């Protein structure tokens, strides 16, 4: 017995093809928008971590090194000299960084992306340090973090 092919079988029409492409384009656009938003959110979250780390690191160094000092001299709102006997260490803001100069005179950066480094006098053994870090300032992705610490000289 012979089988005959049906010649009037229908395939996909041009209209059905266009509708299918349009629907898949809408789905892909939605997925792409979702991915772009998540990448943007991830970048902002990463910037938050960076600025918190920089501010926290600078504050930790200042706190740790200040404990053993005997006295301090506030040179300006963003510059302080700590002394123990004849040895001096210095913290000051230079541009968007906080710099530390040790007793040997070596200077290094202890924090970057710093907008404000401010020293306020409380008494002869206590001072406040406020550090404000900012990344992407003036943009919609601006991230800032501020930390204030009261520093006590133990000696």
Report CA dihedral (91, 93, 94, 98) to the nearest 10 degrees.
Answer: 70
Question: Which of 132, 151, 153 lies closest to 143, judged by CA?
Answer: 132
pLDDT digits (tens, 9 = 90+) for 137-153: 888 889 999 999 999 99
Q: How do the domains of the chain map onto residue ranges?
A: 14-152
State what percent of residues in the chain have pLDDT above 90. 72
pTM attached to this predicted model: 0.76
pLDDT digits (tens, 9 = 90+) for 99-133: 999 989 999 999 999 999 999 999 999 999 999 99
Identify the pLDDT of residue 9: 63
Identify each DSSP E strand in 77-142 by its residue range: 79-84, 87-94, 97-101, 107-111, 114-123, 126-135
Radius of gyration of the chain (CA): 31
């Amino acid at each position: 017995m012979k089988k005959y092919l049906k010649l009037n079988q229908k395939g996909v029409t041009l209209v059905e093809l266009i509708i299918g492409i349009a629907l898949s384009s809408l789905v892909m656009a939605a997925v792409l928008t979702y991915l772009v938003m998540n990448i943007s959110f991830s970048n902002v979250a990463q910037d938050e971590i960076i600025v918190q780390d920089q501010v926290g690191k600078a504050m930790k160094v200042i706190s740790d090194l200040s404990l053993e000092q005997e006295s301090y001299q506030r040179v300006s709102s963003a510059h302080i000299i700590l002394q123990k006997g004849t040895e001096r260490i210095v913290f000051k803001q230079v541009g968007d960084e906080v710099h530390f100069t040790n007793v040997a005179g070596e200077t290094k950066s202890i924090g970057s992306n710093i907008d404000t480094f401010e020293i306020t006098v409380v008494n002869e053994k206590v001072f406040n340090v406020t550090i404000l870090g900012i990344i992407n300032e003036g943009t919609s992705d601006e991230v800032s973090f501020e930390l204030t610490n009261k520093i006590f000289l133990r000696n």
